[in-house]
Amino acid sequence: MGVDLVRRATDEAVLDALLTAGRLTRAEIATAAGVSKPTASESVRRLVVDGVLEQAGRQEGGRGRTGVYYRVAGAAGLALAVHAGAGSIVGECVDAAGGVVHAAERRVGVTIEVERLARELAAVLGELEARVGRPVGGRALAVADPVDLDGRLVHLPGSPFVLGDGDLRAVVGEGADVDNDVNWAARAELAAGAPASFLYVHLGAGLGAAVVEGGEVVRGRGVAGEIGYVLVADSSGTATPLLHALADLGLCVPDTTTLDVDRVRVALAAGSPDADRAAVIGPLAGALASCAALLDPGAIVVGGPWGPDALDAGLADAVGSRTHRPAPLRAATVQDAPLVGVRLRARELARAALLGPVAGE
């Protein structure tokens, strides 16, 4: 192994130790990183020169020389995470430990034109960078709209949030990670311990799904998982997209294809007529059964604002009765999963920003 690779490995171990502990002396760094004290001291020296580490006070008390504490420099290793969904755009500046340093939010409507979305995104990103005091390169964006493999928004008929298609990279940057918010939610659930093969289903103002196989999100040509367009039988037995079947029940915000979460939850409530609950659960179960029959996932994870209501209303049994090999259904464990997903990616990007100087990049 070359000298540069050895130094990089040492510097990574030192950073790991400090990101875990917050602050350490050189002696503590050596123990935590599993290297000798001279090796740890040399790594700390390099990282201080590169602006990656900074002093963080001295040990109090004790005998002999007091040690100097070091920590990751506050201005080093930052990235931006943004979730654009119906109702709001939330942005966060994240450090290499995954902590949220700054946050910003803009309220928007349940539907939005691409041009307005771009302006609001620019405002959120600008506010975060103004608080940091400098441009931040690493960025991850979750958007409640289909996204192709090139990061462009794809407009589908009846899309509930973004009206029109377009490319947001002029705003978020060419190197940004841009994906559908349900895909990011699935990654958050995977990080929280979901099996390597599962179908993630989001039930909220919009309908979405993500296919995870071998621990990776399967994107097809970019819009895989659009469960709202799976054909189901409506109340008259006619084949129609799932989204249309629910819209025909009067469950959408007027003049939109955005589901009214409160109306859906009322329809699914324990005291609601069985016919009302069945009218929602039937088409949804049919769509999930079709997906399960084709994909054979290890599990179906149900998230979103009215996901728990659907499970309480008997969704698992309804799916099981419609498929030859039922997949276990369970509730999602991660709250605000799309934002958590992009935050996790931003943490990776922030860490990469730290390691760039280390590697001499």
- Report pTM: 0.87
Q: Do 3-73 and 78-186+338-354 have matching folds? A: no
Q: What is the pLDDT of residue 259?
A: 93
Q: pLDDT (tens digit, 0 to 9) for every residue of the chain, 361 residues total?
A: 466 778 888 988 998 889 888 899 999 999 999 999 999 999 999 889 888 888 988 887 656 566 899 988 876 789 999 999 989 999 999 998 888 999 999 999 888 999 999 999 999 999 999 999 988 989 999 999 999 998 899 988 777 788 888 889 889 998 899 999 999 999 999 999 999 999 999 999 999 999 999 999 999 988 899 999 999 998 788 999 999 999 999 999 888 889 999 999 999 999 999 999 999 999 999 999 999 999 999 999 999 999 999 999 999 999 999 998 889 999 999 999 999 999 999 999 998 888 775 444 4
Q: What is the pLDDT of residue 359?
A: 45
Fold exhibited by the domain 3-73:
Arc Repressor Mutant, subunit A (1.10.10)
Q: What is the pLDDT of residue 64?
A: 55
Cβ atoms within 10 Å, residue 87: 14
Q: How far is residue 8's CA from residue 14's CA, in Å, rounded to a whole number?
A: 10
Q: What is the pLDDT of residue 360?
A: 43
CATH class of 195-332: alpha beta
Q: How far is residue 269's CA from residue 267's CA, in Å, rounded to a whole number?
A: 6
Q: Nearest to residue 315, comparing CAs of 290, 276, 289?
A: 289
Q: At what angle do helices 26-33 and 3-21 cross, to 10 degrees?
A: 110
Contact between residue 14 and residue 72 where contact means Cβ atoms under 8 Å apart: no
Contact between residue 55 and residue 38 where contact means Cβ atoms under 8 Å apart: no
Q: How far is residue 339's CA from residue 104's CA, in Å, rounded to a whole number?
A: 13
Q: What is the pLDDT of residue 171?
A: 93
Helices (H), ranges, 67-208 = 114-132, 169-172, 181-191
Domain boundaries, the chain: 3-73, 78-186+338-354, 195-332
Structure tokens at 359: 């590697």
Q: At which residue do the structure tokens 């958590």 appear?
A: 340
Structure tokens at 235: 């109340």
Q: What is the pLDDT of residue 361?
A: 43
Q: Which residues contact 120 (CB under 8 A, 6 or more apart)?
A: 84, 89, 106, 108, 112
Fold exhibited by the domain 78-186+338-354:
Nucleotidyltransferase; domain 5 (3.30.420)
